[in-house]
Amino acid sequence: MSVDDLKEERLRIPVDDDELDAVAVSPSQGTHRWAILVHGGPGGVKDGPADLYRDLAGVLAAQGIGSLRFDVRGAGQSTGAYRDMTLARQVRDLRAARELLAERYAPRRTALIGESLGATIVLAGLDGEEDTLVLLWPAIWLLEDVFDSYLTEESLAEASERGFIVRDGEEIGLPFLNELLATRDVAGPLRGSRTPLLLVHGDADTEVPVEQSARAEALVAGPVRRVVVPGGEHCLERPSERAVVNRETSAWLAAHL
């Protein structure tokens, strides 16, 4: 599919007193099948790590599927401060994106795709209207080798004194740390779920252990496929690994969206 066969729109999505910066990509002839792409963090933006989502948007459009990706508040070109980030706030960002998609494009079928912390937000923000899910290297059990280093005595003391800690160049506020301690995991929506689910994970991931995807697979009752990439690190950034992500995601959505 050439550039002329694609339609790309830059959008601003209101949420609370802020705006999300977003990009919608679709076949030029239109579509009623859409995917919302939710990036991870801290430090993530709407195009995804190493342009994961920018490239995936073109792959999906080539098979007749539109996509909407956005910067969460405080990231990229959205307004707001990342220091104010919480899971609950990012869920509101996702819901604002879903409302915009429904109003502007009227999809008949919708997929949610989340990578790393974006997968956390997808699970925390499910509303039962999703037709399928794709979770890429998903952070589900948040205190098990994922955010536990944020919650040491030293980190919590620093956050209590300053109001934040700094990780990956971003200020992480005390409310997020307290939320992690209270939440612990977002596995609940997976238990007995019949929503078709694709999981992709590298087995050398040191940021989110690959075992998290295995545990997620065991919880669901509906169609599920788990793809493990040998030697793959977090975000699967090698070209051969990205080819796997694109191929598996597009094939899954072709079958379930």
- Rounding to the nearest 10 degrees, give the CA dihedral for residues 160, 155, 169, 37: -90
Q: What is the pLDDT of residues 3-45, one digit of tens each?
A: 568 999 999 999 999 999 999 999 999 999 999 999 999 999 9
In this structure, is residue 236 part of a structural domain?
Answer: yes
Calculate Rg over the CA atoms of the chain.
17
User: 126 φ, ψ to 5°?
Assistant: -65, 140
pTM for the predicted model, two decimal places: 0.97
The pLDDT value recorded for residue 4 is 64
Q: Output the average pLDDT for the chain.
A: 96
Within a domain: 168: no
Tokens 């948040």 map to which residue? Answer: 142
From CA 195, how far away is CA 135, in angstroms rounded? 12
Which tens digit of pLDDT belongs to each residue from 57-84?
999 999 999 999 999 999 999 999 999 9
Our count of domains for the chain comes to 1
For residue 139, what are its two tokens? 């952070």
Q: What is the pLDDT of residue 5?
A: 82
Q: How far apart are alpha carbons 102 and 207 in whole angstroms?
A: 34
CA 56 – CA 51 distance, rounded (Å): 8
What pLDDT band is residue 199 in, cutting at 50, 70 and 90?
very high
Each residue's pLDDT tens digit, 79-108: 999 999 999 999 999 999 999 999 999 999
Helices (runs of H) and strands (runs of E) counted in the chain = 7, 10
In a domain, 150, yes or no: no
Q: How far apart are CA 208 and CA 44, in angstroms?
A: 15
- Domain annotation covers residue 211: yes
**In this structure, is residue 241 part of a structural domain?**
yes
Domain that holds residue 123: 3-141+187-256
Q: According to the model, what pLDDT value does residue 168 have?
A: 85
Summarize pLDDT for 140-185 with one digit per residue, the tens: 999 999 999 999 999 999 999 999 999 988 999 999 999 999 999 9
Q: How confident is the model at residue 234 (pLDDT cuts 50, 70, 90)?
A: very high
Is 127 exposed, middle or buried (CB count within 10 Å of its CB: 0-12, 13-18, 19+)?
exposed
- Contact call for residues 34 and 7 (beta carbons, < 8 A): no
- The pLDDT value recorded for residue 3 is 55
Say how many Å lie between the first and final Cα of the chain, rounded.
20
CATH at 41: 3.40.50.1820
Task: Return the structure tokens found at 47.
Answer: 């195009």
DSSP 71-116: PPTTSTT--S-GGG--HHHHHHHHHHHHHHHHHHH--SEEEEEEET
Residue 155 lies in a domain: no
Would you say residue 112 lies in a domain?
yes
Q: Classify residue 181: in a domain, yes or no.
A: no
